[in-house]
Amino acid sequence: MDVILASASPRRKELLSLIFETFRVIPSEFDESLVPGDLPPKEHVVYSSLMKARDVAARHPDSLVIGADTVVVADETILGKPTDAGDAGCMLRLLSGRTHQVYTGFTVVYGGIERTGHECTDVTFRELSDEIISRYIASGEPMDKAGAYAIQGKGAVLITSINGDYFNVVGLPIYKLSSILEEFGVEVLGG
């Protein structure tokens, strides 16, 4: 079975390698700005993952395609990737000392069948001083991450606890994805 990850995320690639020994990476060309702005976070990530998977599946109809999208949500507001250091600082100050949610939507497309799913994890940040925020931004890590942090990187020192799926926060809820893949005949841990 030819498997394609419709994402350029190195984190998703690493996580998908826990399930598949070999797969291709073909990033979707879907423009995420086309996701309707009035969708609740859960529906936002599922819609985006579906459009990404459909985009790649249309060009590779005989492959099993996996699309995903992750957002950070505080006060029902979706925090995307920061546009600059100032934006990253605003996001980190908003998350400081609070619990927020990370949503990942995912879609599997194969043989004309589409299956979607999602996961939500609560993440709690410690109180962040302006100095800590400045040093973290100076590391460069926040700039291409939703919510301006990476739990699997230096951002781990900002987090006091999580409630839910750690892999979801990284960008791909492995357990829920593997359950759907089994419906497509993928033998998870099958060698």
CATH number at residue 159: 3.90.950.10
In whole angstroms, give the CA distance from residue 187 to residue 174.
14
In a domain, 190, yes or no: no
Structure tokens at 19: 């399930």
pLDDT value of position 76: 85
The answer to whether 107 and 50 are in contact (CB under 8 A) is yes
Averaged pLDDT, 45-69: 97
* pLDDT tier, 187 (very low <50, low <70, confident <90, very high otherwise): confident
Residue 191: inside a domain: no
Based on the residue annotation, tell me whether 69 is a catalytic residue of this protein.
yes
Determine, yes or no, domain membership for 15: yes
Residues spanned by the domain of 56 = 3-183
Range 129-137 average pLDDT:
97
Mean pLDDT throughout 41-69? 97
Q: Between β-strands 24-25 and 77-79, what pairing exists: parallel, antiparallel or unpaired?
A: unpaired
* Low-confidence winner among 41-50, 90-99, 156-165, 180-189 (lowest mean pLDDT): 180-189
Is pLDDT of 190 > 80? Answer: no
Domain total in the chain: 1
Q: How confident is the model at residue 96 (pLDDT cuts 50, 70, 90)?
A: very high
- Tell me whether residue 29 is in a domain: yes
Please identify which of the residues 38, 55, 69, 87 carries the catalytic annotation.
69
pLDDT band at 34 (very low <50, low <70, confident <90, very high): confident
Is 102 within a domain?
A: yes
Instruction: Decide if pLDDT at 114 tops 70.
Output: yes
Categorize the per-residue pLDDT at 191 as very low, low, confident or very high, splitting at 50, 70 and 90.
Answer: low
Q: Does a structural domain hold residue 188?
A: no
Mean pLDDT of the chain: 95
Average pLDDT for 164-179: 96
For the chain, helix (H) and strand (E) counts, in that order, are 6, 7
Alpha carbon of 121 to those of 132, 149, 170, 171, 183: distances in Å? Answer: 24, 15, 11, 11, 24
pTM: 0.93
